[in-house]
Copies of this chain bind each other. A is one copy, B any other.
Amino acid sequence: MTDNQNIAKDTLKLKRVAIDTYRENVAYLHRDCAIYRAEGFQALSKIEISANGKRILAVLNVVDDHNIVTPDELGLSEQAFGQIDLESGKFARVAHAEPPGSMDAVRRKIAGGRLSQEDFDNISRDIAESRYSKMEMAAFLVASGQTGLDRDEILFLTRAMLNSGERLNWDEDLVADKHCIGGIPGNRTSMVVVPIVAAHGILIPKTSSRAITSPAGTSDTMEVLSKVKLSPDALHKIVHKVRGCIAWGGSAKLAPVDDTLISVERPLGIDSQGQLIASILSKKLAAGSTHLLIDIPVGPTAKVRHMREALQLRKLFEFVGDQMNIHLEVIITDGRQPVGRGIGPVLEARDVMQVLENNPDAPSDLRQKALRLAGRIIEFDPDVRGGHGFDIARDILDSGRALAKMNDIIETQGRQDCLCAHGSLTYDVKATNKGFVTGIDNLQIARIASIAGAPLDKGAGIDLFKKLGDPVEEGELLYRIHAEFNSDFQFSCELARTKNGYNIGAKEKIPKAYVD
């Protein structure tokens, strides 16, 4: 309707304003601009800009400086200017933006209602078209987290997010993938699983994210060894050549609505089962996976803290996976403590390579977990008898074929040089009493490693010398902090001195694993 009101009004000259406003379009109007005054716009209100047959939405900032925009100009931030795709000086119209129509459905959700596939499609489309402000997305996320989404709603949301973007097609019947729901530091199994599975011959184009709140994501760690930022074309060539990859997933436009929602969910620190499932499955379906193994670690400081919660999550994954026609299996794993020894990109890459090289010092928990996951994926192969996957995976690893495959992948993606030093500033955290390690706090260890500089400083992080159940003497080394910058170093040491994340106690206090 604003269009009607606006057609009679004058137009403004476009100007590119060299300000990067990330995921938010910003428009700049001079305070003396005739249209600004006539339309009764308010700073920070959303306006709709029409030019070149396109319409985009932007947040309005009001300018008092002719050097930024003059009263007959419409300034656009880099992102907005790119979307309009016209030269400076061309003409554009502005009007009040309508609030997104699908907010009605969000308000129904807030009131405790149940939404339909059409509702989720509308919400997803409005988000994809940048019609939602961050606060509107927060309202949607909190509302669907709080009363919860029922399993049909999770399915609807998954489908809506999948349809919001592109979909890769690998032209094979079996395209495997794995995903861990997260929360366990050092859990770099993918970098062992992918070469084993690819060496078996199954296509496994693994794309993953960078760490946002954790000390390292698979992409951050792989980047120590090879390039991970690859164009969709390059990715296809690599995968068809070596049967697998370990790359950053951000280059392809897979379920972009998921990325947008995550950009609100993460800073808010909210997490809901429904969003988690829809997020993972829409991404994996968009990436062209036909077979998917989901890893749910359970432990007192893991994302999932009780077995009943893990089982509930598994049922939901299975329901949505079946409806979306993906072969999906869920494995519940031991999430009581970090996996491996290193936490942070360089230290984790070292652990991974030790496992692949069959180094006797390799952390056995990382090896065992990776073999178990790889075995389950190998059993997706119709020619592998149920129960034989683990042995096949072990043969591939022990024979050195996994290492050879990893080197193939690294070479094909582009080997990285000279990034491999540990942070040179080190601090040893020692036991203050004798006993056994009865607890390692995943969250506190992750926090200390993050503050030491991981993953931005590749060599920063933590190297664990004791794991659950290990006996320790007073004064014995528990872990070593590595950092590259002094201010980060000082602060992470301070944090470790306040609370080092370890419990040392009596032997009978060592917790049992919830799962084998």
Contacts and interface: CB of A to CB of B under 8 A. Distances in A.
A112 interface: yes
Given A43-B21, A44-B24, A135-B264, A4 B491 contact: yes
B270 A139 contact: yes
The quantity of this chain's copies bound in the complex is 2
Nearest to A24: B44
Interface string A116-153: 00000000000000000111111101110111000000
A418 interface: no
Given A23-B44, A62-B19, A8 B146 contact: no
B107 A487 contact: no
B21 A61 contact: yes
Contacts of A456: 40
Contacts of A267: 99, 133, 135-136
Contacts of A62: 19-20, 22
A408 interface: no
A177 interface: no
Given A17-B65, A20-B64, A136-B268, A6 B110 contact: no
B487 A7 contact: yes
Nearest to A140: B142
Contacts of A78: 64
A20 B43 contact: yes
A268 B4 contact: no
Contacts of A42: 22
Taking chain A's interface residues, is the majority helix, strand, or loop, or is none over half, making it mixed? Answer: mixed
Contacts of A137: 135
A18 interface: yes
A280 interface: no
A486 interface: yes
Contacts of A20: 31, 43, 61-64
B142 A19 contact: no
Interface in A21-50: 21-24, 26, 28, 31, 40, 42-44
Interface in A472-492: 486-488, 490-491
Contacts of A133: 134, 267
Contacts of A270: 107, 110, 139
Given A21-B61, A134-B133, A142-B139, A490 B268 contact: no
Contacts of A63: 18-20
A52 interface: no
Nearest to A6: B487
Name the residue among A112, A142, A488 with the largest chain B CB count within 10 angstroms. A142
A8 B491 CA distance: 13
A61 B79 CA distance: 12
Contacts of A9: 487
A322 B67 CA distance: 56
19 contacts: A7-B487, A8-B486, A9-B487, A17-B68, A18-B63, A18-B65, A19-B62, A19-B65, A20-B43, A22-B43, A64-B78, A67-B67, A107-B269, A110-B145, A138-B139, A138-B142, A139-B142, A139-B268, A146-B147
Interface of A: 1, 4-9, 17-24, 26, 28, 31, 40, 42-44, 61-65, 67-68, 77-78, 99, 103, 107, 110-112, 133-139, 141-143, 145-147, 264, 267-270, 451, 456, 486-488, 490-491, 494
10 nearest A-B pairs in the assembled complex, by CB-CB distance: A22-B43, A18-B65, A135-B138, A18-B64, A20-B62, A138-B138, A134-B135, A142-B142, A5-B487, A22-B44
Given A20-B61, A135-B135, A146-B147, 15 more contacts: A4-B487, A4-B491, A4-B494, A5-B491, A9-B487, A17-B68, A19-B63, A19-B64, A22-B43, A22-B62, A103-B268, A110-B146, A135-B137, A135-B267, A136-B138
